[in-house]
Amino acid sequence: MTPLDEQDEHVRLFRSAVLRFYSRHRRDLPWRRSQDAYHILVSEVMLQQTQVNRVIPKYERFLARFPTVHVLASARLRDVVRAWIGLGYNSRGLRLWRCAKIIAQRHGGVVPDDVEQLRALPGIGTYTACAIASFAYGKPHPAIDTNVRRVLSRVLFGRDSVSAAVLRRAAARVFPARAARRWCQALMDVAALHCRSSPRCEGCPALMTCRFAPKVARALPRRPSGSAAPRKAAFAGSPRFFRGRIIRILSGVGSMPVARLLSEAKDGSPKAEGARIASLVDDLRREGLLRIDRRRRRVWLP
């Protein structure tokens, strides 16, 4: 066997093990039951910075409220922002609403299947564009997010990460064009179920072909069995926390005095947070997520 044959054999084994695993053990996620590009668009925007478990109920409620591009495009922004509460990063809701308006006006209400046209929409980067093109339309564009990047770097290079250019080339080499839709979702499941930051190699479909697996035992200290994983630091007090609180307060009223909003948003926080919250209110205004009448000193959701 030549080195090239060996490489091909390695890729072939890796691909078939991962796709087999996906057929048997894939996560049943609501957006995977749909090939409607609008549904995929909504799910991908929601998933950009929010965990799957939090997205599922929100996704279903959002689509019940805004079932088509046209319904979303003609909705009031304040209703979209309200529906977004609980997902965090409200500016994503704003960008999705703007996306829907552009799709309705320029694309006849049909989400484009072309990666460049998708990338021209607000808030749609390369990953999201490729995910929509491949998951909704089966186009051969590898959708590589942080998690897929981690799996590929480990399996193919035996490292936690490699440069973006190297990874792009490698991802294109292993990408099975005829299984575009399933391949990236399968890698996402490998990442979610096994290849987390602390890998769980046992039962991983890539185990036999993974160049990182032999390093795992000695590279990562084991926790005593039964002990819990360290919890992520709470995000209370972060800009995201206060932005969410500001939107939540405004969503319950028509409009309110700016001073009252600042005081309610600051509730229970140290005195010094006042200036920071005022500047976050101004950020939200600049992003178009809220409006302020400076003369009357009142604020509201558009």
Q: Is 170 in the site for ligand SF4 (CB under 6 A)?
A: no
Contact predicate 261/250, CB 8 Å? yes
**Quick one: which of 294, 290, 295 has its CA closest to 81?**
290
Q: Is 154 in the site for ligand SF4 (CB under 6 A)?
A: yes
Q: Which of residues 212-231 bind ligand SF4 (CB under 6 A)?
A: 212-213, 216
**Which of 79/160 has CB closer to ligand SF4?**
160
Query: Is 44 annotated as catalytic?
Result: yes
Taking CB under 6 A as the binding criterion, the range among 18-26, 107-115, 141-149, 192-200 that sits at the site for ligand SF4 is: 192-200
**Quick one: which of 182, 247, 188 has its CA closest to 47?**
188
Which residues lie below 8 Å from residue 251, measured CB to CB, with a gap of 6+?
78, 81, 82, 85, 301
- Binding ligand SF4 (rule: CB under 6 A), the pick from 103, 155, 246, 247 is 155
Structure-token match 């998690």, residue found: 147
CA 298 → CA 117, 210, 272, distances in Å?
39, 59, 23
**Which of 12/76 has CB closer to ligand SF4?**
12
**Which of 99/155 has CB closer to ligand SF4?**
155
Which residues lie below 8 Å from residue 4, measured CB to CB, with a gap of 6+?
none
Q: Is 156 in the site for ligand SF4 (CB under 6 A)?
A: no
State which amino acid sits at residue 206. A
**Which of 120/192 has CB closer to ligand SF4?**
192
Q: Is 204 in the site for ligand SF4 (CB under 6 A)?
A: yes
Please count the residues of this chain forming the interface with ligand SF4, following the rule CB under 6 A: 15
Which residues lie below 8 Å from residue 211, measured CB to CB, with a gap of 6+?
154, 155, 156, 157, 158
Q: Is 210 in the site for ligand SF4 (CB under 6 A)?
A: yes
Residues annotated catalytic, as ranges: 44
Point out which residues bind ligand SF4 (CB under 6 A): 151, 154-155, 194-195, 199-201, 204, 206-207, 210, 212-213, 216
